[in-house]
Amino acid sequence: MSVFDEYRFKLRTPEEAVRIVRSGDWVDYTSNNGFPAALDAALAGRKEELRGVKVRGNLLPGPLQIVEQDPEGTHFVYNTWHCSAYERTLCDRGRAYFTPMIFRNNAWYYENFLTVNVAMAAVSPMDRHGYFHFGGSLGVSRAILEKAERVILEVNEAIPRIRGGEGEAIHISLVDYVVEAGWRPLWELPSPPPSETDRAIAGHIFPHITDGATVQLGIGGMPNALGELIAASDLKDLGMHTELCSDGYLAMAKAGKLTNTRKSLCRGKGVLGLAIGSRALYDWLDDNPGIAGYPLSWVNDPAVIARNEHMISINGCLKADLYGQIGAESAGTRQISGTGGQLDFVTGAAMSPGGKAFLCMRSTYTDRQGTVHSSILPSLGGDIVTTPRSQAYYLVTEYGAANLAGRSTWERAEALISLAHPDFREELIKKAEEQRIWLPSNKR
């Protein structure tokens, strides 16, 4: 039987394919543009027949019909590894549940601890060799599908073929059913234009980046905007080793800054695990021999990251306290995003010869009532710690960059207060005195 005969034999409608799901099953949707929207809708259509079906995903754009059509959560329970804006709203409504993790361990969880009865993933059309590519969800997809008892693929003609690497595709022989979705527009998340605050933050990081450095940009508006600013800088021959490839890298490539020619690991190849951005980004990644996708278990391994000399990791965060604890994923106990790979890259960049890790944030934020607050706090309180104080490296605001590595509590307090907005510094000094982490001789 040829691969095309096997494809036709396994071809089903979405409604036919989801008949294999049973009450109580664990179903996985993989990540971002791997979201199988047609299968999700078909599964939601079976809600009256099913009870207690648990679904996992992460960074899904939504809407999830299994949630929207089951508002009481009687039939389906959705769980996410990392919140998109849509998934955040579901958590706020009590209609989704967050699973704490770090991304390098995602495959380990599946291999050792989790049950997957049915895995569903959107993929590119099958090539002549019988392979479907995972596109921008490749970093997590293969491990999930390998653990699954049954596999259903939803073919989306819009998904790019991102080359490996490793784990970038699956063969038709490993698939139970295939459904066809035609051309379904992908989730696009283009870079916002850099603000003046972004430019000020970038100005404090640029002196630490040398020609030939390998750069990781985290998820979110600020790291992405910094990619745009790097593209407009005088830097050259930069490399890419990143969990998430975004439009910041496309801007760097178009400006001739991203060549990957001086990398110490995978020379000539920009390495990624996931990709979310504009249609132009997906077109650039499609069948690009200068790009190599790998599982996040490899991309995010600190020992692998450290093999990139002069590794520069740039991630966003939300808050920090005077002890150097970094919060990047919650507001109090409200889940905003997830740990993702921030801790992976902070660790790996610190281990890299000549490497540095930067966590960036604006010095203030404004709440829904219009009140301005300091992003640097006496202590995090109820906020979830993403990067512990023992691993904090550079923290950057528009007021400067402070290296916290090896610093005592009073040294950290002085450095962090210097990064706070001037309107909050005196108050922070008083709190530092109360917490006995302020020397009388410290600068005021």
| C-alpha torsion angle, residues 341, 246, 93, 48 (rounded to 10) | -100
CB distance 342 to 398 below 8 Å: no
Degrees (nearest 5) of the Cα angle 167, 172, 177? 115
Residues 6+ apart with CB under 8 A from 262: 211, 212, 237, 239
243 is catalytic: yes
Q: Residue 281 has what DSSP assignment?
A: H
Residues 6+ apart with CB under 8 A from 416: 320, 321, 322, 324, 376, 395, 402, 404, 428
CB distance 387 to 405 below 8 Å: no
Residues 6+ apart with CB under 8 A from 219: 243, 244, 246, 276, 316, 337, 340
Active-site residue among 228, 243, 329, 414? 243
Reference 375, options 421, 336, 343; nearest CA is 421
Degrees (nearest 5) of the Cα angle 371, 376, 377? 85
CB distance 126 to 132 below 8 Å: yes
| C-alpha torsion angle, residues 226, 232, 238, 240 (rounded to 10) | 40
The catalytic residue positions are 243
